[in-house]
Amino acid sequence: MDQKHVHPLLVKYARIGAYKQPHCPGCGNGIVAQCMLRAIDELKLDMDKIVFASGIGCSSWIPSPLFNADVLHTTHGRSLAFATGVKLSNPELRVVVFTGDGDSAAIGGNHLIQAARKNIEILTVLVNNRIYGMTGGQVAPTTPHGVKTKTTPYGNLEYPFDLCKLVEAAGASYVARWTTFHTRQLVSSMKKGLLKKGFSFIEVISQCPVQYGTFVGIRDPAEMLHIFRKISVPFEKAKNMSREELEGKIVIGEFVDIERTGLAEAYQRLLEMMNL
C-alpha cells in the first residue's frame, strides 16, 4: 500500500498487512480503535507492554488483528477472565479489554461485575451498539424497550441495563460513558483508564448502521453520530433532570473515579511479604 497516504497511527501501531479494518462501512468500532491508538500515542506508551484482549463480536475485532501488540482474541464473553490471568501473572503489563454489549452485558455479564468487584487493574472498553452486530441483529440486554430487532419482531419487552450503574455498584475504580461522536472525551477517558491502578470501565455508545441502523430506520452512520450528539446529556446536568426528561437520552461523562488497591498489586504485596 502506498505508505504516503497511510494514517500515521496505522504506520506506527498497526500490524503489517492489517491496515484494513474488518468492520462494515461507517461502523463505530473503527472510531473506537482510532481513539485507543491516539490515547496510547499521546501517552507514549510502549505497545510491547500492553496486552489487548477481546471476546467475540464485531467490537472484539477492534484490536484483532489491527493492533501491532500482543493480542488475545478469546471466546465469547470471557475476555475479562482471560485478561485477569494475564494481569495477575505479569502486573507490569497494561491490560486492555475490548468487548461488546453482547459479549460483556449478556453472556459475559458475570465476569464484568466480578472483575469490577475484584478491582483488577484492567481497562475495559465496552462498545455498546445496543444489538448483536456480528450475528446479525438480534436483541441485546442493552436494546431499548420497544425496539424491533431480528428476534423481537413485535418490539422488545425487556429493559436495557444501565451498564455504568451496574459496574459502579460492583465496585469499579473508574467508570465513564461516551459516544463515538465524543472522540476527544473518549481519548481522554482512555488515557485515564490506561493509567488507573484499578478496574476501569468505559462504555462507548456506538453506531451499527448495518444491523441496529436497519431496525431503527437510520442506516446512515453520519446521521447516527449527529443523533448521538443531540441526545447526549452530561452527567452533571442529568443529575437535575427527571426520569421522563432523561427518556431516550444518553447520559455521558465520568461517573466514578476513586482510588482503591487493585488485586494484582495486593497480590504482589502478599508475595513480597511471603518471600522476604
Partner 1 sequence: MKKVRIHINEDLCKGCGICISLCPNKVFAKSEEISSKGVFLPVIIHGDKCIACRICEEHCPDLAIFIEAQDVEK
Partner 2 sequence: MSSGANKIIEPGTHFLMGNEACALGAVVAGCKFFAFYPITPANEIAEYMSVLLPKVKGIYIQMEDEISSIASVIGASWAGRKAMTATSGPGFTLMQENIGYAVATETPCVIVDVQRCGPSTGTPPLPMQGDVYQAKYGSHSEYPIIALAPSSVKEMFTLTIESFNLAEKYRTPVILLSDALVGHLMETFEIPDLSQIEIVERKKPDKETSDAKYFLDEDVAPMPVFGCGYKAHVTGSTHDEKGLRNVEDPVYVDKVVRALHRKIEKHKENIVKVETKFLDDAEIALLTYGSVARTAIHVVNQARKTGIKVGIIRLITLWPFPDVQVQSAARKTGRIVVMENNLGQVVNKVSEVAAKYADVKFLPPRIIGSLHEPEYVINFLKEVY
Partner 3 sequence: MTRTEIIIGGFGGQGSVLAGVILGRAAAYDGKKVAQSRSYGAEARGGAARSEVVIADEEIDYPLVITADYLVAMSQPAFERYVSKVKASGLVVIEEDLVRPERKLPENLKLVKVPATKIASREFGRPMVANMVMLGALAALTGVVTIDSLIKSIRASVSKGMEEINVAALKKGQEYTSAMVGGVHETS
Ligand X SMILES: Cc1ncc(C[n+]2csc(CCOP(=O)(O)OP(=O)(O)O)c2C)c(N)n1
Binding footprint of Mg ion on the chain (CB under 5 A):
100-102, 129, 133
Residue closer to ligand X by CB (options 13, 132) is 132
Gyration radius of the chain's alpha carbons: 18
What, of a copy of itself, partner 1, Mg ion, none, does residue 222 touch, CB below 5 to 8 Å by kind? partner 1
Q: Does 34 bind partner 3 (CB under 8 A)?
A: no
Q: How far apart are CA 172 and CA 126, in angstroms?
A: 14
Closest distance of CB 56 from ligand X, Å: 4
The x, y and z cell numbers of residue 94, run together, are: 497494561
Per CB under 8 A, the list member of 158, 220, 247, 259 interacting with a copy of itself is 158
**Separation CA 136–CA 149 (nearest Å):** 10
Interface residue with partner 1 among 1, 16, 157, 274 (CB under 8 A) is: 1
Among 1, 16, 274, 276, binds a copy of itself (CB under 8 A): 274
Ordered DSSP codes for 182-219: -HHHHHHHHHHHHH-SS-EEEEEE---TTTHHHHHT--
Q: Which residues contact 65 (CB under 8 A, 6 or more apart)?
A: 15, 18, 71
Q: How far apart are the first and last CA of the chain?
A: 55
Binding window for a copy of itself (CB under 8 A); candidates: 89-97, 102-110, 237-245, 250-258: 102-110
> In whole angstroms, what is the distance from residue 268 CA to residue 91 CA?
8
Question: Looking at 21, 22, 81, 117, which residue binds a copy of itself (CB under 8 A)?
Answer: 117
CA angle 173, 165, 244 (to 5 degrees): 145
Applying CB under 8 A, which of residues 7, 239, 260, 269 lies at the interface with partner 1? 7
Decide if residue 107 touches partner 2 (CB under 8 A).
yes
Residue 135 to residue 138: CA distance in whole angstroms? 7
- Are the C-beta atoms of 113 and 172 separated by less than 8 Å? no
- Encoded one letter per residue, x for contact with partner 1 by CB under 8 A and - for no contact, window 144-183 reads ------------------------------------xx-x
**Shortest Cβ 188–a copy of itself spacing (Å):** 26
Spatial CB neighbours of 188, under 8 Å, sequence gap ≥ 6? 39
By the rule CB under 8 A, 90 interacts with partner 2: yes
4 secondary structure, DSSP code: G
Binding site for a copy of itself (CB under 8 A): 106-110, 113-114, 117-119, 141, 154, 157-162, 165-166, 168-171, 260, 263, 266-267, 270, 274
Binding site for partner 3 (CB under 8 A): 22-24, 58, 133-136, 210-211
Binding site for partner 1 (CB under 8 A): 1-2, 4-10, 19-21, 23-31, 33-35, 38, 180-181, 183-184, 209, 220-223, 225-226
